[in-house]
Amino acid sequence: MIGIGVIGYGYWGPNLVRNLAETPDAKVIAVSDLSQERLAQAESRHPTICATTDCRDLFTNPAIDAIVVATPVSTHYELAMQALQSGKHVLVEKPLTSTLDQGLRLLDEARRRNLVLMVDHTFIYTGAVRKIREIVQSGALGPIYYYDSVRINLGLFQRDINVLWDLAVHDLAIMDYVLDARPHAVSATGIAHINENEDVAYLTCLMEDRTIAHIHVSWLAPVKVRRTLIGGGQQMIVYDDLEPSEKVKVYDRGVTVSESESDNVYQMLVGYRTGDMWAPKLSTTEALQNEARHFVQCVAQNQQPDTDGDAGLRVVRILEAADLSLKQKGLPIELNWERMPV
């Protein structure tokens, strides 16, 4: 039985607690939050849980094996580090930290103490993304041409981060998992309209092998869109997360270049190789449930999580470079993964 403590019962915390509470071989022992009101909520929903305003009570509680950090990003490093130093395994809400340096320290600490450090890249635990990885890794798409994602709506503004750190983090995590992509350069543009944080932003990642990735995120769109295109030489995927049932569609479409005789001075025709489209059946288990079980299992058996500290760090690294570019109107920032500590 793994004892769990959760720090932060705001927007996301309640979902984590609910799912962890229903996870076999795990028990949510304590929840901490600065707001008495939210703590009262937690208690009414989970009478057996001990609620406190002082997270240190969790660090010192011997019944607690693992700590979940569900607080604003700016506090992730401090809280996760204290948890590790208290000998607790840690699951941190996305993004892992506010800076690459902070992330490196967390990884180092976790390694030295042989503790599990996992980041809450929720989408990795959805049936849709699992299926997409399966298809991409099978090679069915052929060479990957592009990854293009739009993640916009009239959304919750974050106080301490911009829209890239809030929304693009999802796509960077998915790309990392699906494509094993390591961009060698990023270029980002965006504007802040409402407060000091960019609320509309665009991020391009350039990979080897002529693969380009682009992410459009916004808190200011009149309509909600959650659509990702992954284009390959043989097949192409459309992943629409708002579709009730067919979230993933695989198009047997490719391009075959041909010279059109009659038009030869004018253009080269792309032969549309359009075959069937199919939408594979997807597992419908709630992502957070899968993630909770995975975390508990990794702690119990001391395994490496699918979304480990390294994965969280790779995403933070790209976000940090993206911010640099953002401040300079899209100036390309190079990334050298060989020279990266991890």
Q: Segment 111-140, which members bind a second copy (CB under 8 A)? A: none
Beta carbons of 90 and 118 less than 8 angstroms apart: yes
Q: CA 254 → CA 74, 208, 214, distances in Å?
A: 45, 21, 20
Q: Is 177 in the site for a second copy (CB under 8 A)?
A: no
Q: Is 156 in the site for a second copy (CB under 8 A)?
A: yes
Q: Closer to a second copy by CB, 280 or 289: give it.
A: 280
Beta-bridge partner residues of 30: 5, 50
Residue 96 contacts by C-beta under 8 Å, 6 or more apart in sequence?
Answer: 76, 103, 106, 119, 309, 312, 313, 315, 316
Q: Is 40 in the site for a second copy (CB under 8 A)?
A: no
Count of chain residues binding a second copy (CB under 8 A): 81
User: CA–CA separation, 25 vs 22, rounded Å?
Assistant: 9
Binding mask 70-109 for a second copy (x = CB under 8 A): --x-------------------------------------
The minimum distance between CB 220 and a second copy, in angstroms, equals 5
Which of 17, 38, 80, 299 forms a contact with a second copy (CB under 8 A)? 38
Chain mean position to CA 90: 17
Q: Is 48 in the site for a second copy (CB under 8 A)?
A: no
Binding mask 207-246 for a second copy (x = CB under 8 A): ---xxx-x-x-xxxxxxx----x-x-x--xxx---x-xxx
Q: Closer to a second copy by CB, 21 or 300: give it.
A: 21
DSSP-derived letter for residue 308 is B
Q: Closer to a second copy by CB, 56 or 329: give it.
A: 329
Q: Closer to a second copy by CB, 158 or 297: give it.
A: 158
Least Cα distance to 71 among 97, 100, 41, 52 occurs for 97
Q: Is 257 in the site for a second copy (CB under 8 A)?
A: yes
Using CB atoms within 10 Å of the CB of residue 227, give its burial: 0 to 12 exposed, 13 to 18 middle, 19+ buried: middle
